[in-house]
Amino acid sequence: MKAHDGMYIDGAWRPAAGTDTITVLNPVDEQPVGQVPAGTAEDVDAAVRAARAALPGWAATPPAERAVLIGALRDRLVARKDEIAETVTAELGAPLAFSEAVHAGVPIVVAGSYAELAAAHAFEETVGNSTVYLEPVGVVGAITPWNYPLHQIVNKVAPALAAGCTVVLKPAEDTPLTAQLFAEAVHDAGVPAGVFNLVTGLGPVAGQALAEHEGVDLVSFTGSTAVGKQIGATAGAAVKRVALELGGKSANVILPSADLAKAVNVGVANVMSNSGQTCSAWTRMLVHADQYDEAVELAAAAAAKYGPRIGPVVNAKQHARVRGYIAKGVEEGARVVAGGPEAPTEKGYFVQPTVFADVTPEMTIAQEEIFGPVVSIIRYTDEDDALRIANGTVYGLAGAVWAADDAEAVAFARRMDTGQVDINGGSFNPLAPFGGYKQSGVGRELGAHGLSEYLQTKSLQF
């Protein structure tokens, strides 16, 4: 795997300020696949200065020209999609077919959507006797996680560039090679020097320095709620804009009129996908008491079909953490009907696809984000009970509702405290705003709403 030993700052790969490095491991066999520099506050400072210097020129570039460059970036991602998939597979451990379809495929669609939005968006509007200009917020500090290495980057960088902002990216320490490949694509697309900058490094060092830097106007963070709270506090103290895309504990609500087998099978597949490392995964399956035993049987059978082909989780810490949650579920009295806490292989960070029955809403496994291939099946007695359980966590990122007809499902979905709901298996829409209610976050990504996060208004009265 190709790795740069420098940072991408001001349009070139430059040596890092320090000598520390990060070794990237393949989660399948725990073998090294590459090494990148571990950036410090000094690297972050150089990158923020470059981004600030490039800001006036980029902000003044007509949106149509910015759109052309984002389109060129998309084309570079298309040209290198096989390499992207191989890189994500090497550092995240995702099965290659999934990397090709989702980890490489989705960011191409999102980048394309922002090429179109940059060209079509109204950056100026008239309100009575005022002209309102939508101007870029400024320098963006983007901090991304490893679970969808390229998607999380494109979700921030594409709208930021479309808005006329410049960016410093600190990607996850576990998946920096995909980020370096993205920086190459930005460079080859012809995006001007300083508009996009990359500093690889550790969260508490490079990430924190970026979030605290006074030259950053907006911090956009995706990751754990614990770190998100810290970043929100830092940004608040400095009166900086902040966008937080945090955890989830989403409910898959199966109403009695639904096609039970379909709802259960799609629900289990949703959780097992990406080895359960999806913030919007429907990790709680809510089933009516009368259908409970049948649903448990269906879910256990569905999970048993997966096995190790779901791929490992990302690292040793997550491997221990996820299996710790499974052990906790057993300890608190839930019943394992598929999988379990034992590692299925000696090498690699594999976790057994696990289904818990007899889960009650207050159990740890029904409240906390596990971020692994674990689904908890919870019994409800009537719709109000189902709603209470669905809304009964600190999170509110996503969810699903299944019923005989869409209208019945929509009526339930409208009462859920959550940012996205799939109705009867509705498919992913790259233009629909994505983001959380409650502690799942602040702000929205994707589509026009995602672009608005990077804009501020200036009103001129006549």
Active site residues: 245, 279
CB of 24 to ligand NAP, least distance (A): 11
Q: Is 203 in the site for ligand NAP (CB under 6 A)?
A: yes
CB of 442 to ligand NAP, least distance (A): 13
Which residues have CB under 8 Å from 328's CB, separation 6+? 364, 365
| For ligand NAP, the closer CB: 376 or 424 | 376
CB of 278 to ligand NAP, least distance (A): 7
| For Mg ion, the closer CB: 203 or 232 | 203
Residues near ligand NAP (CB under 6 A), total = 27
Q: Is 245 in the site for ligand NAP (CB under 6 A)?
A: yes
CB of 157 to Mg ion, least distance (A): 21
Site string for ligand NAP, 169-198 (x = CB under 6 A): -x-xxx------------------------
Q: Is 100 in the site for ligand NAP (CB under 6 A)?
A: no
Q: Which does 311 bind (CB under 5 to 8 A by kind): ligand NAP, Mg ion, none?
A: none
Q: Which does 105 bind (CB under 5 to 8 A by kind): Mg ion, ligand NAP, none?
A: none
Q: Which does 145 bind (CB under 5 to 8 A by kind): Mg ion, ligand NAP, none?
A: ligand NAP
**Which residue from 224, 265, 364, 452 is in contact with ligand NAP, where contact means CB under 6 A?**
224
CB of 17 to Mg ion, least distance (A): 22
CB of 126 to ligand NAP, least distance (A): 38
- CA 109 to chain CA centroid, nearest Å: 15
Q: Which does 218 bind (CB under 5 to 8 A by kind): Mg ion, ligand NAP, none?
A: none
| For ligand NAP, the closer CB: 424 or 439 | 439
Q: Is 276 in the site for ligand NAP (CB under 6 A)?
A: no
Site for ligand NAP in 348-407 (CB under 6 A): 369, 371
**Which residue from 117, 143, 198, 244 is in contact with ligand NAP, where contact means CB under 6 A?**
143
Q: How far apart, in Å, are the Cα atoms of 291 and each of 80, 295, 365, 460?
A: 47, 6, 22, 61
**Which residue from 16, 158, 246, 296 is in contact with ligand NAP, where contact means CB under 6 A?**
246
CB of 230 to Mg ion, least distance (A): 12
Q: Is 222 in the site for ligand NAP (CB under 6 A)?
A: yes
For every residue of the chain, which 3-state class applies, written as one string?
CCCCCEEEECCEEEECCCCCEEEEEECCCCEEEEEEECCCHHHHHHHHHHHHHHHHHHHHCCHHHHHHHHHHHHHHHHHCHHHHHHHHHHHHCCCHHHHHHHHHHHHHHHHHHHHHHHHHCCCEEEECCEEEEEEECCEEEEECCCCCHHHHHHHHHHHHHHHCCEEEEECCCCCHHHHHHHHHHHHHHCCCCCCEEECCCCHHHHHHHHHHCCCCCEEEEECCHHHHHHHHHHHHHCCCEEEEECCCCCEEEECCCCCHHHHHHHHHHHHHHHHHCCCCCCCEEEEEHHHHHHHHHHHHHHHHCCHHHHCCCCCHHHHHHHHHHHHHHHHCCCEEEECCCCCCCCCCCCCCCEEEEEECCCCHHHHCCCCCCEEEEEEECCHHHHHHHHCCCCCCCCEEEECCCHHHHHHHHCCCCCCCCEECCCCCCCCCCECCCHHHEECCECHHHHHHCCEEEEEEEC
Residue of minimal Cβ distance to Mg ion: 203
Q: Is 145 in the site for ligand NAP (CB under 6 A)?
A: yes
**Which residue from 37, 107, 223, 267 is in contact with ligand NAP, where contact means CB under 6 A?**
223
- CA 20 to chain CA centroid, nearest Å: 27
Q: Which does 202 bind (CB under 5 to 8 A by kind): ligand NAP, Mg ion, none?
A: ligand NAP
Distance CA 400, CA 418 (A): 10
Distance CA 445, CA 144 (A): 13
Q: Is 147 in the site for ligand NAP (CB under 6 A)?
A: yes
CB of 424 to ligand NAP, least distance (A): 25
Site for Mg ion in 189-248 (CB under 5 A): 203
Tell me which residues touch Mg ion (CB under 5 A): 203
Residues contributing to the site for ligand NAP (CB under 6 A): 143-145, 147, 170, 172-174, 202-204, 207-208, 211, 222-224, 227, 230-231, 245-247, 279, 318, 369, 371
